[in-house]
Structure formats: structure tokens, C-alpha cells
């Protein structure tokens, strides 16, 4: 029998203070309660009558500039961390003719948009914020708040001279390959028709807010907005809190994901009355934020950030390392079991044994999280409703020291929908189980589109060789080499997780891919190539690998409560090839590194 670690001590399986079979049954029952036939179709698009939910509330004035029809060597679409990392690496590689194109009013990507009160990153700042050594920046706290992240994005842009020639408030409307000129033509909402030899796209995975398709949503007459477009005019305060205009308001918030966990404490503090409408509770572990000792960071040897990122990634992938450098809630499950077990001599575990140990560690962690809800929340029924019944990585794990506590305020009510979701919205209320909760303002903390088509999420299609639209090339599933390059779409790079790597520390994958794209661009230039794209065979091989590896995660995701991690409870049924590389990020990064090390661009046709 396996061992279970608890509080850093390795226990025998029999001593485990829970019944794994009973927990597995409970998880399955909770999942079954939530499965809906309409799956991902339950959500509404921010378009048509809901279009203004997507407006940018942060720009001071619309830009005025003449349309651009010039040519650059590389255009980067997206000014978040992916675009910034690509821009940085390209500058380092000597690319002078570079244009950053961004729909928002500045760099920052998700951190430009998400300025809701309490917004912060729950991955340790020293591994999350890219290019710390290069820019010389040392974050103040272990878990950096949104304004610091936004400012760091701007710092990277300044450091690598990316503001020069940048186009903000510029949404791409079409990207077409001009065969005769061997250039991309980028058409935008500003009337541009720019040309570029290479294009790097980093459009972001969670860029388009979505709304719940709750009956009556269109009839609501009160104030309403999505968390990624926070209306401080209405609430007062700022991203740091202090919402001082809602003391006489009844606020409703739908959703209890990672965003809600961060903003609910501030709403609770400011609102006259707050209703939190819950379908599935988040797992909310201890945050325990701490200041960072800048002298200690300065004393670390060069290369410390890559080393720390790799160590974090290794432990999160179930690997073994001598030390756990980050040592927080993310590495906890692994640290307490796999890490300790292996360190204590259980190296060479079979995959089955490892999976069993991981599940036990997961149960132990979730038991502690459930116990925490009970210990913190005074009302027993509310505490019970806040307990999550699923495996730790079925949903984004959350860490907060004020979320559960907020439910102890007399002005805050958790309205638990028993996994069914909100029943109806009327012109002045949210209805659950026949009870109408009257509100003045409704906040949608309902997340972002995942799994919808590229053109729906980003508002444009890409036309490759012969004018073929990407939507057509991918009609039966994504096709690529390494998730990065697509046959028929030369000199174009897609940064992201689809057929690429996935790690909870999202910028880590972007770092690897940005370096890879820069390498390919450099090589194509060095070979005086005009167009580079994957061969048919290389692309087919990669697609086959993705499908094969997707099976690794199938059982785990299938047993999970529905959410965007598992295509709302239907993992991969839509298309196994539209997933990320199932062998894990370490393997994926190694594949890219080996490919570069081979030096001869295997599987790439350079004409």
C-alpha cells in the first residue's frame, strides 16, 4: 500500500484520515450533478446586444493616426507577456524593424484588462514576472498585485524599446499572405494595411469575456459589467480596493472562480449588501503573502530566475528535485507526497504507483482545504456549501486569506445553487430556487471563452497560401508543428498552449516559445529563405503525437467537475488534437530545445 504525507510527515495508507473510495464517489456525484448537455454552448458571446460588455473602459481617448501601409520585418500581434517576450528576444537577436500591434490602449495583455479590485497573481512573482534579471526589477511581495504586473509589462516594453512603432487600440481584422510579395498583409480597424515578412501571434488564451446564457439575462435593467471591464465610476475605489460608492447598493456577483475569490472581499467590504451566486465552489487555500527581501534576490547568482522557474515547473509536473525553491501551495501536493516519498528512497516508482500517490496527496490537500472552510466560516451551512469536492487541478486552485472570511459579514450572503447555476434573471433580480434576490448591480465573474473558434475569439481569420482561411485549415482540428507553425501559413508563429506546452506558470511556456520563434526567424534569415512552413509529414507527425499524448490526461479530466479545463465536462470529445501537449511542459520544452540543437530545422520547408 502507498504512503500518504500529511503536514510533511509520511503516513501509511491505512493511517490516512479519509476514505479514498468514499471521496472518489462523492467527487463523481458532484460532477454528475453539474454536467449539462449544452456544455460549452451554455455561454453567450459578447456581441450584438451584449457587445458593450467588451468595451475598453480604461482608454482616455481614442487614438488618431493615419493608416499604415508600410513594411516591417516582424510584426507581433498581442502586447501581453507572450508578445513582450517575443519582442524582447527579437530585439536581442538584432531585429530593428519590429511592430507591436495591440487592441488595448497599452501593453499588459490580461493585466491590462483585469483591473478588478484585488487582482493579483497567485503564482509566485519571482517565477511569474518575466525577464526580472534582464530588467533588474525586484517585486515587492511574493504574490504581485495587478498594478505592479501592469507596470512591469510597461517596463519590459521600455527596456527593449518596444513602444517605438507600437500600434495600440489597433485590432487586426484580417491577416493575409501575399504570395507574390511573400509578405503578410495585416488589415486593422484603423484602416491599416501593413506588411510584414514574419508575424508572431500571441493573442492570449483567455482574451474574450463570456456571459452565462441564463434565461432573462437580456431583461436586466440595473447596472451590469464583466469583471475584466470593471466600472470604477460606479463602485468607486481602485484595483487596490476601497470601493466607496456602493455603501447603499445591493450587488450581485455571478461566479466563484479565481477572479471572484479575489474581488469578493473588496465587494464585501464596500457593498451595502452582497449576494454571491455560486454554482461550484473554488478550492481556497492559504495565501500567506510575504515581502520579498530585495537584498537576498540581489545576492542570487546570475541565471537564478530561469533556475527557479525550472524548479517550480519540475515539481508541478510531478518530477523530483533536491529542493523546492518556491515552496508554496502550488507545490504542496507534490512536495508532501511525491517529493518526500522520492527523497526518502522511493525513486523508480511505476507510473501507476505514482498516480496512486498523487491521488492520495490530492485527497489530503483537498481535505485540508475543506477543513479550512469549516474552521473559517461561522455559519455551518455556508461553510458546507463552500467546500469543493473535486481533485485539486480540476479547476484553478485559489489562495486567499480574506475570501472565506468575507462570508462572516452580516451583509454578505452566499447563494448556493446546488451545482445548477442561476435559474433566471429578471429586470431587477437574480432568481435561485424560486427566490428573487433584488439587486442594483450585477457583476459577471463568469470567465472567458475557451474552446470556441479562433475567428470568434479574436475577431478575424487568417488567409494563408492560396487564400485558404485558417478556419478552413483547422475545420477538422488544429494542425501545426509544435503548436507554433502551420503548413500553408508561412513565416507565421502562434504562441500559446494549443498543441503547445501548458504549465500553471503560463509565461514559462511563452518564454520557451518566444525563444523558439526567434531562433526560427533568425535561421530563415541566415539561410536567405523567403518562406518557412512545416512539411506535411512533420505536421501530421505532431498532430498524431498530440492525439496520442492527450490520452495521458483523459481519465483525470473526465472525472473532473465541469469547467473550462475539461471542455465543460466533455474532455476531448470535441477534438483530441485541439489540446496541449499531454506529455507535460518539461517534455515539450525539451522537444523544442532538441529541435533547435539539431541545427537543421527538421520538418521545416524553407523556400
Strand 183-188 and strand 172-178: pairing? antiparallel
Q: Looking at 108, 421, 582, 584, which residue binds ligand NDP (CB under 6 A)?
A: 421
* C-beta closer to ligand NDP: residue 43 or 595: 43
* Residues 181 to 210 in contact with ligand NDP, rule: CB under 6 A: 206
* C-beta closer to ligand NDP: residue 393 or 572: 393
Q: Can residue 563 be called a binding residue for ligand NDP (CB under 6 A)? A: yes
Q: Can residue 396 be called a binding residue for ligand NDP (CB under 6 A)? A: yes
**Cα–Cα distance between 339 and 324 in angstroms, integer?**
9
* C-beta closer to ligand NDP: residue 490 or 584: 584
Q: Can residue 129 be called a binding residue for ligand NDP (CB under 6 A)? A: no
**Cα–Cα distance between 411 and 439 in angstroms, integer?**
13
Q: Looking at 80, 252, 255, 534, which residue binds ligand NDP (CB under 6 A)?
A: 255
Please list the alpha-helical segments (H only) found in 320-422.
329-334, 340-341, 351-376, 380-385, 403-406
Q: Can residue 257 be called a binding residue for ligand NDP (CB under 6 A)? A: yes
Strand 492-494 and strand 461-463: pairing? unpaired
**Cα–Cα distance between 175 and 460 in angstroms, integer?**
8
Q: Can residue 36 be called a binding residue for ligand NDP (CB under 6 A)? A: no
**Cα–Cα distance between 140 and 23 in angstroms, integer?**
40
**Shortest distance, position 461 Cβ to ligand NDP, whole Å:** 26
Q: Which helix (H) or strand (E) covers residue 232, if one does?
A: helix 232-235
Q: Can residue 259 be called a binding residue for ligand NDP (CB under 6 A)? A: yes
Cell numbers at 278, concatenated? 455560486
**Cα–Cα distance between 45 and 457 in angstroms, integer?**
9
**Short-list 598, 480, 471, CA closest to 533:** 480
Give the contact letters, 279-298, x = binds to ligand NDP (CB under 6 A), - = no. Answer: xx------------------
* C-beta closer to ligand NDP: residue 448 or 542: 448
CA distances from 554 to 283, 550, 579, 604 (A): 22, 6, 11, 31
**Shortest distance, position 68 Cβ to ligand NDP, whole Å:** 33
Q: How many residues sit in the footprint of ligand NDP (CB under 6 A)?
A: 27
* C-beta closer to ligand NDP: residue 201 or 415: 415
Cell numbers at 76, concatenated? 507581433
CA distances from 64 to 55, 231, 341 (A): 18, 25, 61
Number of neighbouring beta carbons within 10 Å of residue 80: 26
**Cα–Cα distance between 439 and 274 in angstroms, integer?**
9
Q: Looking at 6, 313, 331, 445, which residue binds ligand NDP (CB under 6 A)?
A: 445
Q: Can residue 564 be called a binding residue for ligand NDP (CB under 6 A)? A: yes
* C-beta closer to ligand NDP: residue 259 or 491: 259
Q: Can residue 507 be called a binding residue for ligand NDP (CB under 6 A)? A: no
**Shortest distance, position 505 Cβ to ligand NDP, whole Å:** 10
**Shortest distance, position 157 Cβ to ligand NDP, whole Å:** 21
Q: Which helix (H) or strand (E) covers residue 128, if one does?
A: helix 125-128
Cell numbers at 439, concatenated? 439587486
* C-beta closer to ligand NDP: residue 252 or 464: 252
Task: Return the HEC string of 449-461.
Answer: CCCCCHHHHHCCE
153: which residues sit within 8 A by CB, 6+ positions away?
A: 79, 80, 81, 84, 106, 107, 108, 109, 111, 112
How far is the first Cα of the chain from the last one, in angstroms, to the nearest whole number?
58
CA distances from 194 to 83, 185, 359, 494 (A): 18, 6, 52, 19
Q: Looking at 4, 86, 90, 121, which residue binds ligand NDP (CB under 6 A)?
A: 121
**Shortest distance, position 450 Cβ to ligand NDP, whole Å:** 8
**Shortest distance, position 149 Cβ to ligand NDP, whole Å:** 9
Cell numbers at 529, concatenated? 529563405
**Shortest distance, position 147 Cβ to ligand NDP, whole Å:** 14
* C-beta closer to ligand NDP: residue 258 or 546: 258
Q: Looking at 382, 446, 566, 580, which residue binds ligand NDP (CB under 6 A)?
A: 446
**Shortest distance, position 420 Cβ to ligand NDP, whole Å:** 8
**Shortest distance, position 328 Cβ to ligand NDP, whole Å:** 12
Q: Looking at 68, 127, 196, 214, which residue binds ligand NDP (CB under 6 A)?
A: 214
**Cα–Cα distance between 36 and 25 in angstroms, integer?**
19
Q: Can residue 252 be called a binding residue for ligand NDP (CB under 6 A)? A: no
Segment interacting with ligand NDP (CB under 6 A) among 253-261, 286-294, 298-306, 335-343:
253-261
Q: Which helix (H) or strand (E) covers residue 412, if one does?
A: strand 412-416
* C-beta closer to ligand NDP: residue 226 or 342: 226
* C-beta closer to ligand NDP: residue 264 or 325: 264
What stretches of 453-564 adopt beta strand conformation (E)? 461-463, 492-494, 532-534
**Cα–Cα distance between 509 and 258 in angstroms, integer?**
21
* Binding residues for ligand NDP (CB under 6 A): 121-123, 206, 212, 214, 254-260, 262, 277, 279-280, 396, 417, 421-422, 445-448, 563-564
Amino acid at each position: 500500500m502507498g504512503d500518504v504525507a500529511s503536514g510533511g510527515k509520511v503516513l501509511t495508507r491505512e493511517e490516512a484520515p479519509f476514505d479514498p473510495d468514499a471521496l472518489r464517489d462523492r467527487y463523481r456525484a458532484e460532477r454528475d450533478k453539474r454536467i449539462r448537455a449544452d456544455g460549452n454552448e451554455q455561454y453567450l458571446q459578447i456581441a450584438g446586444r451584449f457587445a458593450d460588455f467588451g468595451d475598453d473602459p480604461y482608454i482616455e481617448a481614442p487614438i488618431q493616426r493615419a493608416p499604415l501601409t508600410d513594411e516591417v520585418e516582424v510584426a507581433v500581434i498581442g502586447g501581453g507577456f507572450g508578445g513582450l517576450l517575443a519582442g524582447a528576444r527579437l530585439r536581442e537577436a538584432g531585429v530593428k524593424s519590429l511592430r507591436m500591434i495591440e487592441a488595448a490602449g497599452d501593453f499588459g495583455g490580461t493585466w491590462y484588462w483585469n483591473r478588478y479590485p484585488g487582482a493579483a497573481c497567485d503564482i509566485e512573482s519571482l517565477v511569474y514576472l518575466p525577464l526580472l534579471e534582464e530588467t533588474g526589477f525586484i517585486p515587492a511581495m511574493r504574490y504581485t498585485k495587478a498594478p505592479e504586473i501592469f507596470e512591469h509589462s510597461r517596463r519590459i516594453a521600455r527596456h527593449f524599446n518596444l513602444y517605438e512603432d507600437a500600434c495600440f487600440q489597433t485590432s487586426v481584422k484580417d491577416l493575409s499572405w501575399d504570395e507574390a510579395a511573400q509578405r503578410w498583409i495585416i488589415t486593422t480597424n484603423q484602416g491599416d494595411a501593413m506588411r510584414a515578412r514574419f508575424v508572431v501571434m500571441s493573442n492570449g488564451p483567455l482574451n474574450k469575456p463570456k456571459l452565462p446564457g441564463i434565461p432573462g439575462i437580456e431583461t436586466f435593467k440595473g447596472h451590469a459589467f464583466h469583471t475584466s471591464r470593471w466600472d470604477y465610476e460606479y463602485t468607486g475605489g481602485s484595483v487596490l480596493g476601497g470601493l466607496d460608492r456602493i455603501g447603499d447598493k445591493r450587488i450581485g456577483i455571478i461566479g466563484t472562480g479565481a477572479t471572484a475569490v479575489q474581488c469578493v472581499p473588496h465587494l464585501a467590504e464596500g457593498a451595502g449588501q452582497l449576494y454571491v451566486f455560486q454554482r461550484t465552489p473554488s478550492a481556497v487555500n492559504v495565501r500567506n503573502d510575504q515581502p520579498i527581501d530585495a537584498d537576498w534576490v540581489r545576492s542570487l547568482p546570475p541565471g537564478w530566475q530561469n533556475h527557479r522557474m525550472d524548479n517550480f515547473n519540475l515539481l508541478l509536473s510531478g518530477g523530483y528535485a533536491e529542493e523546492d525553491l518556491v515552496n508554496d501551495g502550488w507545490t504542496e501536493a507534490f512536495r508532501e507526497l511525491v517529493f518526500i516519498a522520492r527523497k526518502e528512497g522511493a525513486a523508480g516508482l511505476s507510473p501507476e504507483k505514482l498516480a496512486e500517490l498523487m491521488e492520495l496527496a490530492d485527497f489530503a490537500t483537498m481535505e485540508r482545504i475543506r477543513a479550512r472552510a469549516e474552521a473559517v466560516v461561522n455559519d455551518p451551512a455556508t461553510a458546507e456549501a463552500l467546500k469543493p469536492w473535486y481533485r485539486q487541478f480540476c479547476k484553478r486552485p485559489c489562495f486567499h486569506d480574506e475570501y472565506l472570511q468575507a462570508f462572516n459579514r452580516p451583509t454578505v450572503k452566499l447563494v448556493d445553487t446546488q451545482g445548477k447555476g442561476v435559474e433566471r434573471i429578471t429586470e431587477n433580480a437574480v432568481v435561485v430556487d424560486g427566490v428573487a434576490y433584488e439587486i442594483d448591480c450585477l457583476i459577471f465573474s463568469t470567465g472567458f471563452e475557451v474552446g470556441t473558434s479562433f475567428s470568434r475569439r479574436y475577431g478575424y481569420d487568417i488567409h494563408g497560401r492560396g487564400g485558404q482561411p485558417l478556419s478552413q485549415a483547422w475545420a477538422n482540428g488544429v494542425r501545426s508543428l509544435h503548436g507554433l507553425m502551420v503548413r500553408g501559413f508561412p513565416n507565421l508563429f502562434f504562441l500559446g498552449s494549443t498543441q503547445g506546452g501548458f504549465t500553471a506558470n503560463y509565461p514559462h511556456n511563452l518564454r520557451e516559445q518566444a525563444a523558439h520563434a526567434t531562433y526560427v526567424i533568425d535561421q530563415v534569415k541566415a539561410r536567405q529563405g523567403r518562406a518557412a512552413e512545416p512539411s506535411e509529414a512533420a505536421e501530421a507527425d505532431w498532430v498524431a503525437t498530440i492525439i496520442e499524448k492527450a490520452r495521458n490526461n483523459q481519465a483525470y479530466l473526465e472525472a473532473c467537475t465541469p469547467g473550462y479545463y475539461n471542455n465543460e465536462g466533455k474532455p476531448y470529445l470535441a477534438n483530441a488534437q485541439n489540446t496541449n501537449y499531454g506529455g507535460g511542459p518539461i517534455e515539450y520544452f525539451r522537444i523544442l530545445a532538441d529541435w533547435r540543437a539539431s541545427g537543421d530545422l527538421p520538418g521545416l520547408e524553407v523556400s
